[in-house]
Amino acid sequence: MFLLGTFYLFASFLIMTCLSVIFSKNPVNSVLFLVIAFLNSTFLFILIGAEFVGIILAIVYIGAVAILFLFVVMMLDIQITSLMYNIKRYVPLAILFSGIILAEIIYLTVYKTSKSHSNIIVRSENNTEQIGNVLYTNYFIDFQLSGIVLLLAMIGAIVLTHIYRPTIKRQNINKQNTTYSKDRVKLVKAKSGEGININD
Amino acid sequence: MNSLYFEIFIGILKIFSFVVPVLVSVALLVYLERKVLGAVQLRKGPNVVGPFGILQSFADVIKLITKENLLPSSSNKFLFIFAPMLTLILSLIAWAVIPISSTYVISNINIGILYLFAVSSFGVYGVILAGWASNSKYPFLGALRSAAQMISYEVSIGFVIITVLICVGSLNLIDIVESQKNLWFAIPLLPMFVVFIISVLAETNRLPFDLPEDEATLVAGFFTEYSSISFGLFFLAEYANMILMSSLTVILFLGGWYPPLDIFPLNAIPGIIWFAVKVFLILFVFLWVRATFPRYRYDQLMRLGWKIFLPLTLIWVVITSSFLFYFGMLPN
């Protein structure tokens, strides 16, 4: 009873914050509502006993992804009213994506029962260990493939941003460290009443 | 039903038994910092309020509370007030999983180290929100700097924690300490220990990495617009974070509540005192570094994080796991 009550509390918070992400006018508020939505889904994961997945969700999405969203959104200077009137443009796209996700959920719940992993040795109630066991045995190839996809995405991002342009001034750390004071500063004895000529 | 209320009451008492000592030690840490800085710079430091000036920080707190709390006219009021509260809350809730001795901990959860990592990575929100809500240039620059800085150094902190976890085989903080009973991890993992201390300096925005509040270029960085108690909350959170990260260092590398050698006069001293002494030593290193080193330039900071610490920690993860695997010393 207590568990069910907490579930409905967090689930209703989750839905409310997700709606606020879409309908709030200020994009910074949208990102903050997104953070609260992530936090609520973390609570839901912990509630069903999947504390490892929940905390990883919090670390990755709240600790890194949402911060980068906030970082980008804060630097934009958006006219708030102009955001609202072209929302109808995105309706077909939204229907397409939500339709795909709905079809996936129906496929998983109706046609496919979950795989049973007979090789798991349940030694403790620690689900970190269980996830590790499944991930590195049954899903080893999938795990490595997703790693390669992420590596490709990273290389792609670096190639796109790291363009060599001769006009850009770069700092050469080795050159800076190997500079001595006698290369840059010259001590000149100025004669009284004459001063020094800069062109010397 | 009565037993439930009783458990809640005990829980609240436990929480207070952590939070009150943390807040008192924050006040004493501020005093210690001023005394250490004074000694390094051949001054006396605070010596007027109370014996040896030990009540100086309490006097400062009273001063801060009684000042007027100013709100900038064009700021986002809710986030402006909420940001310092969030920073302090995050630096206090992390204490829920810190074990001070093998039995004295509020909540002994299986994934304690991940919880701590998550909470410390949320800390950047307080700074970013404060900088953005102030609607002013210097706080905003400070917020952007801190966002980039904290994310960069979290990567190397994550790899250092993974290296320790490979040696332990558990995410539970008590297990981590108990596996160091014979040998502290600071000895076999000495390079990781050094990297961790430097990254912790960057993560808590302490000198020489205090670029988000760099007074030489940004006035006071993200809390330029803050006054009175809302400034006080930021101040409190920074020092509470320092104590938290020092205890994390002690748990990961310096053997928690265990004495350095398991011989008679040393193991007669209770574990809590060993823990406190070790935390004090790490905190002293923080203050010592502040008094000794000049502030980093921002590009130097980023270069240290991404080009030196990231490859070094990544290679150490591989070396440690290969070593343990080859010699059959992997846990479990």
In this predicted structure, the answer to whether residue A109 has a pLDDT above a threshold of 70 is yes
pLDDT tens-place string over residues B188-232: 889 999 999 999 988 888 878 887 777 777 777 788 888 888 888
B332 to A105, A122, B23, B184: CA distances (angstroms): 38, 14, 39, 19
Q: How confident is the model at residue A121 (pLDDT cuts 50, 70, 90)?
A: low
In this predicted structure, the answer to whether residue A80 has a pLDDT above a threshold of 70 is no
Mean pLDDT of chain B: 87
Of B125, B148, B171, the CB nearest to A128: B171
- Residue closest to B242 by CA, chosen among B272, B280, B273: B280
Q: What is the pLDDT of residue B285?
A: 92
3-state secondary structure of A191: strand
Mean pLDDT of chain A: 81
3-state secondary structure of A162: coil
- Rounded Cα distance between B319 and A115, Å, is 36
Closest approach of chain A CAs to the CA of B128, in angstroms? 8
Q: What is the pLDDT of residue B330?
A: 77
Chain B residues touching residue A55 (CB < 8 angstroms): 111, 114-115, 118
The answer to whether the Cα torsion of B168, B169, B174, B178 is positive or negative is negative
Contact B110 A63 (CB under 8 A): no
> Which one of B80, B121, B330 would you mutate to disrupt binding with A, by most A Cβ within 10 Å of its Cβ?
B121
- Rounded Cα distance between B270 and A116, Å, is 49
Contact A67 B118 (CB under 8 A): no
> Which one of B114, B140, B159, B300 would you mutate to disrupt binding with A, by most A Cβ within 10 Å of its Cβ?
B114
Touching A: B residues 286-305, CB under 8 Å: 299, 303
Touching A: B residues 155-214, CB under 8 Å: 171
pLDDT tens-place string over residues A9-50: 999 999 999 998 888 878 888 888 999 999 999 988 888 878
Q: How far is CA B332 from the centre of its chain?
A: 31
pLDDT tens-place string over residues B242-261: 999 999 999 999 888 888 87
Percentage of residues in chain B with pLDDT exceeding 90? 21
Query: What mean pLDDT comes out for the span B20-45?
Result: 90
In this predicted structure, the answer to whether residue B60 has a pLDDT above a threshold of 70 is yes
Q: What is the pLDDT of residue B303?
A: 87
Contact B114 A126 (CB under 8 A): no
Are residues B316 and B308 in contact, defined by beta-carbon separation less than 8 angstroms?
no
Query: What mean pLDDT comes out for the span B151-162?
Result: 89
- Rounded Cα distance between A25 and A32, Å, is 12
> Which residues contact residue B301 at a Cβ distance below 8 angstroms, ignoring those fewer than 6 apart?
B149, B202, B209, B211
Q: What is the ipTM of this complex?
A: 0.81
Which of A50-54, A149-153, B142-146, B327-331 is predicted least confidently?
B327-331
pTM greater than the 0.90 cutoff: no
